[in-house]
Structure 1
Amino acid sequence: MYKVFIDNSVIQFLDSSEKVPSGKYDLVWNSLENDLSTLLDQFDFTASSVCLLVIYEDFELAFNRVFHAYEFMDAAGGIVKCDRRYLFIERHGVWDIPKGKLDSNEQPWEAAVREIEEECGIKGPEIDHFLGVTFHTYSYMGRLTIKKNWWYALNYSGSMEVTPQEEESITQAIWIDKSEWKMIRENTYDSIVEVLEMAKDF
């Protein structure tokens, strides 16, 4: 299953071969029976929180039809662990995980390491394993944009001194114990909560 976060709402994409999970959906939309290009027009996502389920046979086809009016962007980042503590940043008053846009011809894992180094001022975090992907939408320079984030778990053994990248509006970077993740969950984005779930056993 893939999830796309739109403000406080979520659209879940489910393969037609999978069982529909239990839960309350505001709309279940079968891509074989309905015009996906009109799905987003039916809801005001800024006014309320909704949960939609799109059942597909071809994910890319269904995804592109739903978000046909959006520009696509790839980004990568990750959760860094050092001596049982984890690295988080605060940006625009909200807790986040270091991440950023892929450069031209850059692989996601390369971008994840580079962005973490740039945003937090550390050197040499190493990929442990791939966590998964999330999607979220936002407005970038007045254009509707959907961002695909590639997430990784990384190990780090260097200095824990950090330098937040101020030009990226990062006001602080901190190392915290997993027992303190509740603080992050209480003031972050739904897509980041999803990543915390991916990394709960890391």
Structure 2
Amino acid sequence: MYKVFIDNSVIEFLDSSEEIPSKRYDSVLNSLQNDLSKLLDQFNFYDSSICLLVVYEDFDMALNQVFHAYEFMDAAGGIVKCDRRYLFIERHGMWDIPKGKLDANEQPWEAAVREIEEECGIQGPTIDHLLGITFHTYSYMGRPTIKKNWWYALHYSGSMEVFPQEEESITQAIWIEKKEWNMIRENTYDSIKEVLDMAKDF
């Protein structure tokens, strides 16, 4: 299953071979039976909390149909672990996980390491495994944009001194234990909560 976060709303995309979860959806649509190109016009995603399910045969096709008017952007980042502590940043007054856009011809895992190093000032975190992929929408340079994020679990054994990247509006970077993750959850985005869930066993 893939999830696209739109402010407080979410569209879940489920492969047709999988069983539909036993939860409440505002609407369930089948990509072969419904015109997905008009889906975003049918619901007030930005002023309410909507949860939709789209059952697809081809995920890329279904995603492109729903978000045909959006620019697509790729990004990568991750949760860094050093001993029993994990690295988080504060940006625009919200807790976040270091991440950023892929450069040309850059692989997601390369971008994740580079962005973490740039945004937090540490050197040499190493990829452990891919946690998962999320999508979220936002406005970039005045254009509606959907960002695909690759999220990784990384290990780190260097100095825990951090240098938040101020030009990226990062006001602080902190190392905290997992028992303190509730502090992050209380002031973060739904897409980041999803990544925390992915990393619960890391």
TM-score (norm 1): 0.99
**Secondary structure in 1 aligned to 2:54?**
strand
1:151 partner letter: W
Cα distance in 1, alignment partners of residues 199 and 93 from structure 2: 23
Written as runs of structure 1 = structure 2, the 5 A alignment for 1:145-164 is 145-164=145-164
Asked if 1:184 corresponds to 2:181, the answer is no
- Alpha-carbon displacement from aligned partner over 1:32-58 (angstroms, at most 9, x marks no partner): 111010000011111111000001111
Aligned length in residues: 202
Asked if 1:172 corresponds to 2:169, the answer is no
Cα distance in 1, alignment partners of residues 87 and 47 from structure 2: 33
- Alpha-carbon displacement from aligned partner over 1:33-87 (angstroms, at most 9, x marks no partner): 1101000001111111100000111111111100000000000000000011000
- State the shift of 1:117 in Å: 0.2
Asked if 1:27 corresponds to 2:27, the answer is yes
- Alpha-carbon displacement from aligned partner over 1:151-184 (angstroms, at most 9, x marks no partner): 0000000000000000000000000000000000
Structure 1: any 5+ residue segments left out of the alignment?
none
Cα distance in 1, alignment partners of residues 12 and 129 from structure 2: 24
Cα root mean square deviation, aligned:
0.5
Cα distance in 1, alignment partners of residues 142 and 45 from structure 2: 17
Cα distance in 2, alignment partners of residues 102 and 79 from structure 1: 17
Cα distance in 2, alignment partners of residues 165 and 186 from structure 1: 23
Cα distance in 1, alignment partners of residues 59 and 129 from structure 2: 24
**Secondary structure in 2 aligned to 1:193?**
helix
- Residue in 2 aligned with 1:88? 88
4+ residue runs of structure 1 moved beyond 6 angstroms? none
